[in-house]
Structure 1
Amino acid sequence: MKTSPYYQPHPYAPSSFDSLPADAPALPVVVVGAGPVGMAVALGLAQRGIRVTVLEAATQVSFGSRAICISRHTLEVADRLGVGEHLSDLVLPWQGGRSFYRDAEVLHFLMKHDEHDVRGPMVNVSQSEFEQVMADALEAHPLVTLHWGAAVTGLTQQDDEATVTVDTCDGPRTLRARWVVAADGGRSAVRELVGVGLQGTSYEGRYVIADIHWVSELPAERMVWFDPPSNPGSTVIMHRQPSDIWRIDYQLDPSEDAEVETREERIRARIASHLAWLGDDRPWTLEWHGFYKAHALALDSFVHDRVLFAGDAAHLVPIFGVRGLNSGMEDAETLTWMLSAVLSAGADRSLLQTYSAERHDAWRQNVANAGKSTLIMTPGSHGHRTTRDALLALATVRPEFSHLINPRQSSATHARRSALTVATTEALTTGLLPGDPVEDRRVVLADGKESSLGELRGTGFAVLGVELDPVSVEAASRLRDALASAFAPEDATMALVCREPATAAYVTVVDDGDGAVAAAWGAQPGDVLVVRPDGLLLARGRVDELAGLPQRVLAGGGVVESEAGPADAVVAVPADEARRESAWLALSDGINAVPSDDREGFLARLALLLADGVSTDDFAQAVTTAASVR
């Protein structure tokens, strides 16, 4: 009998270890949870010379595909953690997707991908395999101790440390740590022990998720069917994974009993119905299944004395747009360099409050986009359901409405509102703004060697100068040295971007003969850009104005003003698309606001008011189009 290629995690023996003696120094960091976020924190700290103890209640990595979509930015993080090359051997790249209303295609989208990009926009791999790659790296690192079968059951905090009680195969044990990182997922035990809870919105839509082994020629792209005959009135999503594994998500109708519908026989029947509708009768096997509800929840603060929260332990985002794991990896990278600065470089503890404020603001950015995707995928009110169905019907004949169905796939969040960011150029509003993610890109060096921005800047700070004069080059070198000295053991690198480059003995020079690199940043001759270890732009301006930057960061920078600052979107939305989106959301809210017996009257009044602002012919054509689709 042929063995399924479905990934089976490697089991570990439960760990045996002693309590930390009362007279021993506290451990630097204890990480609770060996999921992607917790392991990323542990790897990042260990790379910086900090000993880390990881506690995981299970005795293996997670089982099942779970978060399968890994973004370009997360792949960059994986490279900086040293696991990117191994991960790249496992993944299946993809660039876009298609959405269907019944059997009519209403959207074909492609994610941004330019010739200078080092990586594709998205890859698929099961979370289980992703975690195993990271677990192997942790097991091999001399500064990491990974305890399996170690469930945290108690936590108390003192002024300068926290005490963790751990249930092990040999009985309870206690560990003391200067800092505890809670990365133990959406059902966080640490969150409960600290006595804090998530706040926000939970959506009504419920999804069954399943992995099947199925040989098919369907492409590697995100496919969504709204109201297909195989799931009338609801939605089916399909994603291809490596080794002919397919992820299928389908929405349950509000009237359906989740307990009944999550039984294996019902899952098999519904998947069989969809595959039969697709016209494919080849055999398949059910490998794993789960259940999901969409949430947009977060802690008010991600820092509670000596306990630092990250990933799903700190916040939950709706599944649509694949932001959960990807935003958690951003949390991990930001927390890692800031916590390292506090532990190793003497940075003020307020820098950790800056971590909290930045990443809470990033959660708000994710929810703003994922919330719109959720209103399309699983509208939770009559108004949003009515407008969603209207958009789908209109998109079959008016493709300009299809962008509203776009899943708004995950992209790196920004920290524009962070008090750490510095813009010395007056009225800086265009190009790469302080707080924006600095995308990796292919570059050519002055000696003709091909490289990438990520390779040049390494894992620490980077100082990038555009067309600098000799005096500014020397000043930029001093800034680089100051960053390396202030944040040791954090690395700091420097590179010059020049239209007419000349090789230099002590600094890397990028050949920007066509001006493409400077143009991508919106940079002018004389500009200096400073990049943080997590890939965000820390500062942009003239080098003589940035001399105090290391001290500013070490001091914590202040407080993020989440409600102010530049616009959220890193990529500008065309005006007509923004107008349609505003109209869709306003109309949905309007329908919800009126009594149920006045909805038809409300829509009639609204149509007459709008007709007063357009020509008679345009209004008549709109009436005809609206009446012709259902």
Structure 2
Amino acid sequence: MTTSPYYRPRTHEPARFPSMDATEPALPVVVVGAGPVGMAVALGLARRGLPVTVLEAATQVSFGSRAICISRHSLEVADRLGFGEELAQLALAWEGGRSFYRDVEVLRFRMPNEPHAVRPPMVNVSQSEFEEVMADALAAHPLVTLHWGAGVVGSTPRGDEVELEVATADGPRQLRARWVVAADGGRSRMRELTGLRLQGTSYEGRYVIADIHWQAELPTERMVWFDPPSNPGSTVIMHRQPGDIWRIDYQLDPAEDAEVETGEDRIRARIASHLAWLQNDRPWTLEWHGFYKAHALALDSFVHDRVLFAGDAAHLVPIFGVRGLNSGMEDADTLAWMLAAVVDGTADPALLGAYSAERHHAWEQNVANAGKSTLIMTPGTAGHRTTRDALLALATVRPEYSHLINPRQSSATHARRSPLTVTAAPGSRGLLPGDPVEDRRVELADGKQTSLDEVRGSGFAVVATGLDPGVGATAARLRDELAAALPREHVTLVLAGPDTGRPASVALSEESAEALAGAWGVRPEEVLVVRPDGLLLARGSAADLTGLSAQLLAGGGGAVHATGAVAPVVPQAPAEARREAAWLALSAGIDAVPVDDREGFLARLALLLADRIDTDDFAAAVSTAAAVR
């Protein structure tokens, strides 16, 4: 048997530092928690020239795979924070997957991966390795102080400061901070000390998660089996990681004892059964295991005086669709630039209210999609289990139902309802304010091949794709206005056509400018303003956007745009939306009637629907439903 390459993080020496003297000025920002979100916030602040202190109770990064799927948008964030290249060298790219009902394939999906895309739609790497790369980046930055073995045990607001009591190897220490970022995970101590509780839904389904070292020839994709012969009644998920490490998740039956089923012997037996069914004849080793229950919970607000919550400390989402770490990276990307402006004194603290509003709405978007995935992966009621099993059976002969089984993989959330987002002119199409601006391959006027993110950097960008010199001149004035208002942010001017020689400007080739304009649906006279976190802040004529920086620094006026229900950036096709609505309504209907009347309910429903369709169509539907089991 070969030696396992399973990653084991190094241990760091516990930090030693004195308590702060009462005469010392408070630290600008203290980040509690050195997970991916906390470290991303710290890097984002430090790269803007702000000193930041990070406190971590443990003496190493997390052990085990935990989150493994890193989205394209998170890769963009990693590049903005300066560790993307190191991460790319470790990760394993993938772009699709398959799902099976027992042993029949019922879904084959591919995530968008157009020729203009700069990065793969998703990569796999263990959270432990992801965090270690980030920890190295923090250690290399002169403005970051990372204290290992320093857990916060007390937090007291003191006017415009927060006093923290920190447990260290040398005893308790006191620190004072102007702002505290609580990024200490799902069991957040800062949340507890602040007297806050997450609100929302906890699902019934329970999953064992395990990493094994196994040299297999299976492809790099997401594979799911519903009710496989190897584990009848369960759901099994498999993902390949670098180094022949495989992540296996499987669902426990409600009647099974979790304490028994999470014992190593039982875990090995369940995995061995599945690998044997896959005709495995190669040795494998169990490297790590854990236990998971799905939650959709959040704080009502992510800002509490001078304590700001991010990542799992602020919200929890089900793992299905891999939104946990990825949504946390979005939190960090947004919070870093907003907090930097507030700490600097250039922006009103109301800007942090915009952070809370945006990211809470992003949680709603994630839950709307992850919740549907969870109802498929681990249906918690009789109604949802009945319809889930019916969908799986139908999908074996009617592939048009397969889209309901799609895992709805994580994608960047939008901020259309943000108080910062400037509403576009009526009739605008394509990329709308609040939407994520995907990185794209572009060509500069001098012929150099690059990408939009490389061109705009990690700050704001003012983009004018029209060739009219007047548009370029007004766009330049808007760039100067933003640069003066936000001195810690680099603001790039991106223009079409030959280089104009304007300061901090980049010239695109006419072909690239036309391609961008076509993809985004913008008119020649329009200017686009892109935020540091890659969201579109505004689009319109530069004259219409006068005063944008003042609105930004004021927090946008503090009111969330009322755009109605949460809507995806890309709407469903009508037929798919109709099937989804029917699935959810039928599930709720089954659950609403008494157990002994469910068969009668379904019969009544079928007769009512028969009155709406052709007799031959109804007879054919009855025949199909009876034949599929």
Preserved CA contact (<8 Å) 1:212 1:284: yes
Distance 2:490 2:454 in 1: 13
Deviation at 1:336, TM superposition (A): 0.4
Is the 8 Å Cα contact of residues 321 and 407 (structure 2) preserved in structure 1? yes
Separation (CA, whole Å) in 2 of partners of 1:502 and 1:302 = 45
Structure 2 distance, partners of 1:264, 1:174, is 42
C-alpha distance in structure 2 between counterparts of 1:395 and 1:470, whole Å: 56
> C-alpha distance in 1, partners of 2:566/2:382?
30
The question of whether the paired residues in 2 share the 8 Å contact of 1:57 and 1:152 is answered with: yes
Once the two structures are overlaid, the 10-residue window that deviates more, 516-525 or 387-396, is 516-525
Residue of structure 1 in register with 2:251 after alignment: 251
Alpha-carbon distance in 1 for matches of 2:613, 2:324 = 44
- The alignment status of 1:552 with 2:551, answered yes or no, reads yes
Displacement of 1:425 in angstroms is 2.1
1:502 corresponds in structure 2 to 498
CA distance in 2, matches of 1:486, 1:419: 18
The correspondence of residues 498-537 of structure 1 with structure 2, limited to 5 A, is 501-506=497-502, 507-513=505-511, 515-537=514-536
Give CA-to-partner distance per residue, 1:203-228, whole Å, 9 cap, x none: 00000000000000000000000000
Q: Kindly provide the amino acid, as one letter, of the partner of residue 75 in structure 2.
A: L
Give the letter aligned to residue 215 of structure 1.
Q
Q: CA deviation at 1:516?
A: 2.2
Contact 1:512 1:518 in 2 (8 A): no
**What residue in structure 1 maps to residue 227 of structure 2?**
227
Kept in 1, the 8 Å contact 2:498–2:508? The answer is: no
Q: Distance in 2 between matches of 1:419 and 1:203?
A: 32
Quote the residue 1:409 is aligned against.
Answer: 409
Corresponding position of 2:293: 293
Decide whether the 8 Å contact of 2:435 with 2:536 is kept in 1: yes
Q: Taking structure 1 as reference, are residues 287 and 542 closer, same or farther at Cα in structure 2, changes over 3 Å only?
A: same
Q: How many percent identity over aligned positions?
A: 73
Structure 1 gaps, min length 5:
none
- Contact kept? 1:416, 1:566, Cα under 8 Å: no
Q: Match for residue 582 of structure 1?
A: 581
Q: Is the 8 A contact 2:462 2:479 kept in 1?
A: yes
Q: Which position in structure 2 is the counterpart of 1:135? A: 135
Report if aligned partners of 1:382, 1:591 keep a CA contact under 8 Å in 2.
yes
1:16 maps to what in 2?
A: 16
**2:317 aligned with 1:328, yes or no?**
no
Aligned residues, how many? 626
Paired position in structure 1 for 2:236: 236
Aligned match of 2:339: 339
In the TM superposition, what are the counterparts of 1:169-248 in structure 2 within 5 Å?
Answer: 169-248=169-248
- The CA deviation at 1:505 is 2.5
Q: Is the Cα contact below 8 Å between 1:344 and 1:488 reproduced in 2? A: no
Secondary structure in structure 2 of the residue aligned to 1:474: helix
Deviations 1:331-360 (A, max 9, x none): 001000000010125200110011001000
Q: What residue in structure 1 maps to residue 62 of structure 2?
A: 62
Separation (CA, whole Å) in 1 of partners of 2:565 and 2:187:
34
CA shift for structure 1 position 229: 1.4
User: Which residue in the other structure is 1:456 paired with?
Assistant: 455
Alignment-mate amino acid for residue 231 of structure 1: N
Please give the per-residue CA displacement for 1:465-522, whole angstroms capped at 9, x wherever unaligned.
121522221111111111111111111001123xxx3333233222243732111111
Amino acid in structure 1 at the alignment position of 2:70: I
Q: Distance in 1 between matches of 2:470 and 2:463?
A: 15
Q: Distance in 2 between matches of 1:424 and 1:111?
A: 29
Match of 1:595 in 2: 594
Change in CA separation of 1:562 and 1:231 when aligned onto 2, cut-off 3 Å: farther
Shift in alpha-carbon separation, 1:454–1:565, aligned structure 2, 3 A: farther
Find the aligned partners of 1:494 and 1:424 in 2 and give their Cα distance. 20
Q: Deviations over 1:42-90 (max 9, x none)?
A: 0000001111000000000000000000000000000000000000000
Query: What is the identity, as a one-letter code, of the residue corresponding to 1:275?
Result: L
Q: Which residue of 2 aligns with 1:366?
A: 366
Report the AA paired with residue 501 of structure 2: A
CA distance in 2, matches of 1:325, 1:439: 19
Q: Deviations over 1:4-60 (max 9, x none)?
A: 100010110111100111100000000000000000000000001111000000000
**1:82 matched to 2:78:** no
Quick check: 2:424–2:433 contact (8 Å CA) kept in 1? no
Whole-angstrom distance in 2 between the partners of 1:626 and 1:560: 50
Which residue does 2:563 correspond to in 1? 564
Letter of the structure 2 residue corresponding to residue 266 of structure 1: R
SS in 1 for 2:66: coil
Whichever residue aligns with residue 169 of structure 2, its letter is C
Residues 535-581 of structure 1: CA deviation (Å, up to 9, x unaligned): 00000101101110000000001335376358621112111101100
TM-score by length of 2: 0.98
Distance 1:563 1:206, change over 3 A: farther
Aligned residue in 2 for 1:116:
116
CA distance in structure 1 between the partners assigned to 2:568 and 2:101 by the alignment: 28
Gaps of 5+ in 2: none
Contact 1:357 1:560 survives alignment (8 Å) = no
Q: Deviations over 1:291-342 (max 9, x none)?
A: 0000000000000001000000000000000000000000001000000010
Q: Which residue type is aligned with residue 503 of structure 1?
A: D
**Paired position in structure 2 for 1:377:** 377
Greater mean deviation of Cα atoms: 205-214 or 474-483: 474-483
1:560–1:124 distance in 2 versus 1, CA, 3 Å: farther
Residues in 1 aligned to 2:3 and 2:41: alpha-carbon distance in whole angstroms: 35
Distance 1:118 1:549 in 2: 30
Alpha-carbon contact 1:32-1:183 (below 8 Å) kept: yes
Give, in angstroms, the shift of residue 192 of structure 1.
Answer: 0.2
TM-score (norm 1): 0.98
Distance 1:423 1:185 in 2: 35
Question: What per-residue deviation string (whole Å, max 9, x for no partner) do you get for residues 112-139 of structure 1?
Answer: 1100000010000000000000000101
Q: Which moved more, 1:342-351 or 1:406-415?
A: 342-351
Q: 1:468 to 1:440 in 2, by over 3 A?
A: same
CA contact (8 A) 2:302 2:360 kept: yes
Q: Which amino acid aligns with 1:505?
A: G
- How far the C-alpha of 1:424 sits from its partner, in A, is 4.6
Tell me the SS of whatever aligns to 2:100: strand
Alignment deviations for residues 179-220 of structure 1 (CA, whole Å, 9 cap, x no partner): 000000000000000000000000000000000000000000
SS in 2 for 1:543: coil
The structure 1 segments of at least 4 consecutive aligned residues displaced by more than 4 Å after TM superposition are: none
Q: Using the alignment, how far apart are the partners of 2:501 and 2:563 within structure 1? A: 44
Structure 2 counterpart of 1:546, which letter? L
**SS of 1:545 mapped into structure 2:** coil
1:358–1:560 contact (8 Å) kept in structure 2: no
Structure 2: how far apart are the matches of 1:28 and 1:611? 67
**C-alpha distance in structure 2 between counterparts of 1:229 and 1:18, whole Å:** 60
Alpha-carbon distance in 1 for matches of 2:209, 2:290:
5
